[in-house]
């Protein structure tokens, strides 16, 4: 049943901008940063950190857009009737989150490989090879899981406009949490994790003292919050009866 739902969701978004966006955005983003770094005076460590900060801060905005696109495809595929008539809705909702997470992982890794290869080979980076880039990318992807869960709930409960609006607001908060204002509260602000967790990991890897304590604290909070979010999502999905959009 779950595999069939996953295949159905893939068919619904086939030929839509969702798939193409997950390919073009990484290429354009990493390419622009490499071009800029090729003539800028930034040092290696600062350049890497700034790249992951920028990508991480923009991640919540993209999540809001993609979850809104997912609900749009469900609406176009039958006015939500295919979903609402299911006796077991949990597998259907779970497949939607998983599909976006699969695309997200591909997109983050593509961004990382393009930027990492360019930074290592073209710009002669000497920070230790691709391992640091891949680990930072994986940390960013893991950090996005709660965002996908809650944005999916918002999209289906209140519509695509709310999903996009909250995504934009989350991106602004994420960017704000990268400043000194977020030094003490970012660990408790899950919309900032996509930018701040990779940043903290890079600080630790590049030798900044105190970063390991921050990582340990946020990993514990992350695991608890993500588990609670997933449990709530599954319970919410099993009881979903539509909203004004689907009536």
pLDDT band at 243 (very low <50, low <70, confident <90, very high): low
pLDDT of amino acid 79: 63
Q: How far is CA 4 from CA 11, 66, 91, 173, 243, in A?
A: 11, 21, 9, 37, 25
More confident residue, 215 or 148: 148
Angle between helices 211-238 and 131-158 (to 10 degrees): 30
> Is residue 247 over pLDDT 50?
no
**Alpha-helical runs (H) found in the chain:** 2-13, 17-39, 44-76, 81-84, 90-117, 131-158, 160-177, 193-205, 211-238
Mean pLDDT of 112-138: 82
Rg (the chain; Cα; Å): 19
pLDDT digits (tens, 9 = 90+) for 60-74: 999 999 999 888 877
pLDDT digits (tens, 9 = 90+) for 178-206: 988 888 899 999 999 999 999 999 888 87
- The residues, any chain, with a CB within 8 Å of residue 68's CB and separated by 6 or more, are 155, 160, 161, 163, 164, 167
**Exposed e or buried b per residue across 150-169, where buried means at least 16 C-beta atoms within 10 angstroms of its C-beta:** bbbbbbbebbbeebbebbee
**pTM here?**
0.92
pLDDT digits (tens, 9 = 90+) for 37-88: 888 877 888 888 999 999 999 999 999 999 998 888 777 766 666 676 667 7
pLDDT of amino acid 239: 85
Answer whether 68's CB lies under 8 Å from 163's CB.
yes
Average pLDDT for the chain = 87
Q: For residues 27 and 246, give the distance between their C-alpha atoms in angstroms, rounded to a whole number.
A: 36
pLDDT of amino acid 42: 79
In degrees rounded to 5, what are phi and psi of residue 48?
-65, -45
What are the structure tokens assigned to 169, written together? 């607001």
pLDDT digits (tens, 9 = 90+) for 13-33: 877 889 999 999 999 999 999
């Amino acid at each position: 049943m779950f595999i069939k739902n996953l295949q159905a969701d893939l068919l619904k978004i086939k030929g839509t901008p969702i798939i193409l966006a997950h390919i073009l955005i990484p290429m354009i983003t990493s390419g622009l940063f490499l071009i800029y770094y090729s003539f800028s005076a930034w040092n290696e460590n600062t350049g890497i950190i700034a790249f992951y900060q920028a990508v991480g801060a923009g991640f919540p905005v993209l999540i809001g857009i993609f979850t809104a696109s997912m609900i749009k495809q469900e609406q176009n595929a039958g006015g939500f009737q295919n979903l609402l008539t299911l006796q077991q809705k949990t597998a259907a909702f779970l497949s939607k989150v998983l599909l976006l997470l699969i695309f997200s992982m591909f997109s983050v890794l593509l961004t990382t490989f393009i930027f990492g290869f360019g930074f290592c080979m073209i710009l002669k980076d000497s920070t230790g090879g691709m391992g640091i880039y891949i680990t930072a990318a994986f940390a960013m992807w893991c950090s996005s899981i709660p965002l996908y869960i809650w944005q999916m709930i918002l999209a289906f409960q209140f519509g695509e406009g709310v999903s996009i609006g909250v995504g934009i607001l989350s991106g602004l908060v994420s960017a704000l949490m990268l400043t000194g204002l977020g030094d003490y509260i970012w660990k408790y602000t899950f919309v900032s994790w996509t930018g701040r967790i990779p940043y903290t990991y890079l600080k630790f890897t590049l030798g900044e003292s105190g970063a390991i304590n921050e990582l340990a604290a946020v990993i514990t909070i992350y695991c608890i919050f993500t588990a609670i979010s997933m449990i709530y999502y599954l319970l919410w999905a099993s009881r979903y009866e539509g909203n004004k959009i689907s009536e």
